[in-house]
Structures are given as C-alpha cells and as structure tokens.
Structure 1
C-alpha cells in the first residue's frame, strides 16, 4: 500500500518539481525521517524553461546557472527553488559527506552564501548525495541533509539509490516532453517569422502578442499547461492571412484542426475577432460567450496594435472585455511589454 500511495503522490503533480518533491519526501522516509533535502537538476543549455519564457531583453547571457539549479525542496524554504548551484553531485555515485555543507559552500560564489545561510545550511552536519541517472544520462541529484552527525548506513544508502533509479525514467519522460514542447515552439515561431517577413511592418508582431497574452493569462490565473496553449494561439493567430485578410481567423483555426492538445487554441484563433458587444466575426458571439483565450488574445492584440491605454480603454466594454483591459493595464505597468 505504501508503494501505491507514493506512486499516487508522484503522479498527482506530473512536473519536475512535483515529482522531485515526492521523491525527496519518500527518500527522507526511507532514511528514518528528520532530514531536509533538495533536488538539483542538470539540464543542457537552452532547456531552461524559465529562461525561454522570459522576454529577450530579460535573458541573461548563458552561464553555469543554466546547467545546475535547485528544482525542488523538502524541509527547506521554497525560495530556494530556482537557485543556480554548483556542488558535490557531479560524480555518478552515491556519497555521504561527513563535512556537511562544506563542499557546497566551497563550490559556490560568496554572493550565494547568504541564500544558503538563510536556509540554515551551515547547520548541516552530514549530507547524502544520490545521483539521478536515466540510461546513463545525468539528470541531477537528490541531496538529503541531517543536522546531527548520525551516520547513514550502507543499506539505507542502497535503498535511496534504488529509489532514485526508480524515479529517473519518469523524470526523463518529463524532460523529453519539455524538449518536444520547446521544439514545437521553435518550429511555430520560425514558420510565423517566415510568414511575417513578407511584410516588414509585421515582423515581431506575433511574438509581441504572445508575450502580452501570456502576461495577461498569468494574471487571470491560468496554469502552465493553459499558458502553453494560449502561447500557441497568440503566436499563430494571424497565420490564416497566408490566404488573405478576409476570413483569416477561420483559416488559421483550420490549421489547428485535428490537434487535440490545441483545441482551446483553435477556438481562440477562430474567435479573436469577435467583439464584446456582439458585432464581431465570424459568429457574432458576445460577452462571456466568447472563449476566454479569444478574449485574452483580442486584448493583447489590440494593446500591441494601439500602443497606448487611453485608446485601449476606449474599447473596453465595446470590442473588448473591460475586466481584461484593466488587467492588461495593470500587468503592463508592473512589467511593460515590449
């Protein structure tokens, strides 16, 4: 029954952080409890999803932070998640560190020591580092910390090592899915850019609308999966113009026909020219009968086209959802879309 419970816990949050939190929790259980821990992921340059989601002007130059970062915690503050770290997990074998966090501090620059101090890592007396490998590929490591110098026996180390081996394929599967999603984004962006290049004034429009849409979607409370679909809708919203301006929303929606995972994106593309007052196209939907993604896309599209909120506010309650116009103004004041 314990195995079933653990499996349910892992699958309840099928993300890197969710799976690794569950993995740390069960590893602590296997070691008798009274431990804290964190999981570090090792990812190739370009696979960092957070960096991909940032606007180009906000992206830092590539450095080691794109390689190793904290992906989940157990017993440590959540603020540690996302922190770039170097540490004693490069070797592909389980190790007990009797000097506690000494090697961790030595491997990282002084500017990170304050974060580690805040998390209480100077109090660590002993650490167990367990690599996570999928078919010889280094995915990262589980690090379990104990404040007392009580040793962790060989049998317990083997238990946790086997546990890390068991979860590695699931992490590998999640990473493969992320790689596929990134590839799909890159291909979509390339296709749209090739289309936009026919009209110099249109270059970058889809990217700007996508960035504004995701900001607005996040403010509405959409989760990552929903934001992904909204991104595709915004990026592809004008692709139907390849057959001309007239009726392009329906043409663009037809391009997404038969893609089950983008069903809501298809609706958004089809209906992004509907109007809140019911005078839009193609189906003259009004108010909240217009799909949410389409209303978000319409506001973001108008914001990018008009360029100022005085003109955008003039469309609130007429062509656009007034609540979303207000949110767009709020999130743009906090972090202006470029």
Structure 2
C-alpha cells in the first residue's frame, strides 16, 4: 500500500473493516446461513469474473478480458433478494478478490473492490429485507416484488457511487465538490437492468425449477454484457488511435493546435444536418479530426518555417493528403474517412489537388471536410491572423460554393450554425514553447496580449494549408503563388 496516499490507505482499511463487520454475522453458528445458496452464488459470480482473470480464456475470447471486475452485477443483486444481508455480502468476496486488476498496486485495489461490492450487496439486501422482498419471492407477488428489486438496485448503485467518489477524493485528490460528478446518472440505468435480471434469477431460483433454471436467465445476460464490453473496448481503442495521431500532428505543427478537433466538430454538424446515419457521423468526425494527419510526412523545417516557402517546398506541402492517406490506409475502422483525408483539398471546379477531381467525383466525406476545414480556418484566431466573424466566413463560403465547395454542404453548415451556434477556442496565439514544455494533450491556449493581428492590416496570403483572404475564392492561388513564381509566406499553414 506504500504507493497509495495515506488517505487512500485509510479508506481501503476502513472499507475492509466495514465489509468484515457486515459479513461477520453470517459466520455465527446460530445464524442459520443457507451455505449452499451462498456457495453457489459466490461460485457463479467468481466464474463470471474468471475470463478477466485467466489468460487462456482471455485469449480464447479475442485477446481481451470480456468483463472487468465487478461488472456482472445480476448475480449479486439476485443474492441480495435471496439471502440475508450478511450472507449477501459474502457472495461478492471470492469473485472480487480473484478479479483481474489492470493497474498497480493490485493488492489494495482488489481489497477495495471486494469491500466495496460487499458493502453494496449488504445494503441492497437490507433494503429488500426491509421491504419484505424475500417473503414475496415465493409465490412471486408482482408488482410488489418488482418495486423491491428496483429499490435494491438503486441502493446498490448509490452505495457504489458514494464509495467511488470517496476513493476519487482520497486516492486522486479530487475536490469534494466535483468528485461525484458524472458517476450516478450513467450507472443507474445499467444497474436497474441488472436488478431486473437479478429478480428473474431469484424468482426462478425459488421456483420448483430450482437454481439450474436461473442459469438460463444469466447466460444470455452474461453474453450481452460480454458483447457490450467488447464494443466499448474496441471503441476505446479507436479513440486512442485517433488521439495519438492528432497529438503527433499538434506537437509537430503547433501553429494550428486544436484545429483538427474543431474541424471534426464542424463536420459532425454538417453530417447531422444532412441526415446521415449515426455510424457515418462518427466516421466523418474521425475524418475531420484526421484530415491533416499527412503533416506527419511533411518535413518539420517546412511546417515551422517562418520565411517564405519556395516552389519546391510548396509542392512538398501539397503532398500532405497523400501522406495522410498512406498513414491511415491500414486502419480499417476509418472506412470512408480515408477518402476524405486524401481528397479534402479537391475543388468542385477540378482545380484542386492531389488528383484534380471535380463535382461529385469528389467523395461526399471529402466535400464535407473541405467546408468544415475552410470554415474553421477563417473563424480561428491565431498569432498571425485575426478570426473572421461567423457571418463573414459563411458569406465567403457561399461565394465560393459551386467553384470550390459543394453548395449543399455550405447550406447544411449554415443551417446547423443557425440552430446550434459556434464557439471557437483561441489557438496558437502564444509563442511556441520549447519542445520539453509542449503539453502532451492538445488544447486551446490562453490569449497572449498583442498576439492578434492589427485589425486594419492585410491578412496573410494563401498557402496549401490556409485560405486566401483577399477578394478571390478560398485557397485560390494569388498571382505568383504557383511553381516557379514568387514564394508564399509560411504563416497560415492549415
């Protein structure tokens, strides 16, 4: 326990002592504890945690534990309805102590989880006992027994939430006023469903069919929990992959930190306004977030160059969509996002890059991201340019609709902004810190006095990463901007 703060060690010790005190009455000779039921339920709960503990079963289930510690609560809630409070507390101990622990120190974490579940099971059983639940199981009296089960599940959830918040305060040193935020509401719905499954299990357990029939309730419930857990593990892996790529881009080009997340948000607004299915909306969010991942293939000296770009350097930067496509080619879950990363600089009139596609030859996702990308570039305040008002940016997008942008996407963004509004965070308006002090997580920076451009000064010229801000369409080359012509300033890289 030496790795834990003193307050956390004290909390774990107090929880363990409390759980022991609550379970102790079941061990008295005169307690008449139904040990057969206790043993069966404890073994069943431990078996439900076994895949998370056993490496062989974990590999057989796809390389990841199907469930974490204490996630399969129907067994504990069935015990709360079938057993006296002290005996119900005992059923949680073997499975919780044997459950897999991902983080160290493992010993105190197991003790804490076992004590937490024992106390919660005791409280749920005591609630059911006070409401006459055990007597209503045989014969099952509905809806009374249903209300008893729901009350037990709510109390079970409240106790777990209270203890989770307490450990946040003690071990993570979170402020008391925020430690319980976001814990109870997400837990109530699944705990209520588990309570209903526990009720069905308890009713069948006490029925003439006996405990074997109860397993037919728990098996499909367990499989559904397994699938749900696998889905969330996969989703978390996807999010981690995207976050790692975005961090890499933001650390390499600090001028536009936060731009990727905002482009993802604007892309989602457009997609939802177009009525896209939710699974496509999630993919288009990835497309917006990762649209500039190809910057990783552009030399850092070019990305951070303060002087003008040479024609050769400009040609290098215009390869970033192809670099991005190569980087994400093997990431299967991105789906249509890969095409958006490759083609988000194409133009409706065919004058874009890298392949000069036109009109509906350009993939739909790329047309969405192009509008979101341009909108954020124009409405973001950076050290080298002042943000345009949302209305001005929309007017510019409308002016370029049909030549550079898909008019349908521009109209969808305008409707979405009328409904939801838009808030931008100030980005890249401080001098770039030394490499050792660049934060690991991307995010907005506080505004630096004097960093905003003079409102009357002309904005910087166009670049493959930045729109033209003169009277010509967004991103349209100014005279002399092409190969062999006068170089273009580096500032404004998008």
TM over 0.5: yes
Q: Could you tell me which residue of structure 2 aligns to residue 103 of structure 1?
A: 151
306, 319, 322: which is aligned to 1:247?
A: 319
Shift of 1:216: 1.6
Match of 1:289 among 361, 381, 384: 361
1:301 is aligned, of 364, 368, 373, to 373
Cα distance in 2 between the residues matched to 1:99 and 1:139: 11
- 8 Å CA contact 1:89–1:141 kept in 2: the answer is no
Shift of 1:328: 0.6
Q: Quote the residue 1:12 is aligned against.
A: none
- Measured after TM superposition, the shift of residue 295 of structure 1 is 0.9
Q: How far 1:258 moved relative to its partner?
A: 2.7
Per-residue deviation at 1:204? 0.3
> 2:397 maps to which residue?
312
Shift of 1:325: 0.7
Q: Does 1:337 align with 2:430?
A: no
The aligned residue for residue 264 of structure 1 is 336
Write the mapping of 1:213-228 to structure 2, written as runs, cut at 5 A. 213-228=267-282
Partner of 2:76: none
Q: CA deviation at 1:215?
A: 2.0
Inter-CA distance 140–103: structure 2 relative to 1 (3 Å threshold): closer
Report the Cα offset of residue 161 of structure 1.
5.9
Deviations 1:2-61 (A, max 9, x none): xxxxxxxxxxxxxxxxxxxxxxxxxxxxxxxxxxxxxxxxxxxxxxxxxxxxxxxxxxxx
* TM-score for both structures, normalised by structure 2: 0.39
CA contact (8 A) 2:124 2:152 kept: no
User: Is this contact kept in 1: 2:293–2:324, CA < 8 A?
Assistant: yes
How many angstroms does 1:331 deviate by? 1.1
- Residue of structure 1 aligned with 2:222, choices 161, 164, 168: 168
How far off its partner does 1:194 sit?
A: 3.4
- Any gaps of 5 or more consecutive residues in structure 2? 1-121, 138-143, 159-188, 198-202, 299-316, 380-392, 424-494
Aligned to 1:127: none
Match of 2:250 in 1: 196
Distance 1:161 1:334, change over 3 A: farther
Matched position secondary structure for 1:143: helix
The Cα RMSD (Å) is 3.9
Q: Secondary structure at the match of 2:232?
A: helix
Q: Is the 8 A contact 2:153 2:195 kept in 1?
A: no
How far apart are the structure 2 equivalents of 1:207 and 1:328? 16
Which protein has the bigger helix share? 2
1:306–1:312 contact (8 Å) kept in structure 2: no
1:328 corresponds to which of 413, 430, 437: 413
Shift of 1:99: 7.1
SS of the aligned residue for 2:147 comes to: coil
SS of the aligned residue for 1:98 comes to helix
What's the secondary structure of 2:336's corresponding residue?
helix
| 2:47 alignment partner in structure 1 | none
Assess if the C-alpha contact under 8 Å between 1:272 and 1:295 holds in 2.
Answer: yes
Q: Distance in 2 between matches of 1:165 and 1:272?
A: 48
Tell me the distance in 1 between the aligned counterparts of 2:123 and 2:353: 57
Assess if the C-alpha contact under 8 Å between 1:298 and 1:320 holds in 2.
yes
More strand by share: 1
2:14: which partner in 1? none
Contact 1:213 1:297 (C-alpha < 8 Å) held by counterparts: yes
Note closer, same or farther for the CA distance 1:170–1:301 as it changes in structure 2 (3 Å cut).
same
Contact between 1:275 and 1:284, CA under 8 Å: does it hold in 2?
yes
Q: Indicate the SS of the match to 1:337.
A: coil
Structure number with bigger Rg: 2
Distance 1:165 1:191, change over 3 A: same
CA 1:233/1:104 → structure 2, altered by over 3 Å: closer, same or farther?
Answer: same
Q: Distance in 2 between matches of 1:263 and 1:231?
A: 12
Q: Relative to 1, partners in 2 of residues 1:321 and 1:157: Cα closer, same or farther, differing over 3 Å?
A: farther
Query: How far apart in 2 are the matches of 1:172 and 1:327?
Result: 39
Q: Is the 8 A contact 1:208 1:337 kept in 2?
A: no
Unaligned runs of 5+ in 1: 1-87, 110-130, 133-137, 145-151
8 Å CA contact 2:152, 2:195 repeated in 1? no
**How many Å apart are 1:174 and its aligned residue?**
2.7
Q: CA deviation at 1:284?
A: 1.7
Matches within 5 A, 1:15-34: none
Q: Give the secondary-structure state (helix, strand or coil) at the position aligned to 2:196.
A: strand
CA displacement 1:177-213 (0-9 Å, x = unmatched): 2222223213422331232133333110000011111
- Other-structure match for 1:40: none
Secondary structure of the structure 2 residue equivalent to 1:314: helix
8 Å contact 1:139–1:172 — kept in the other structure? no
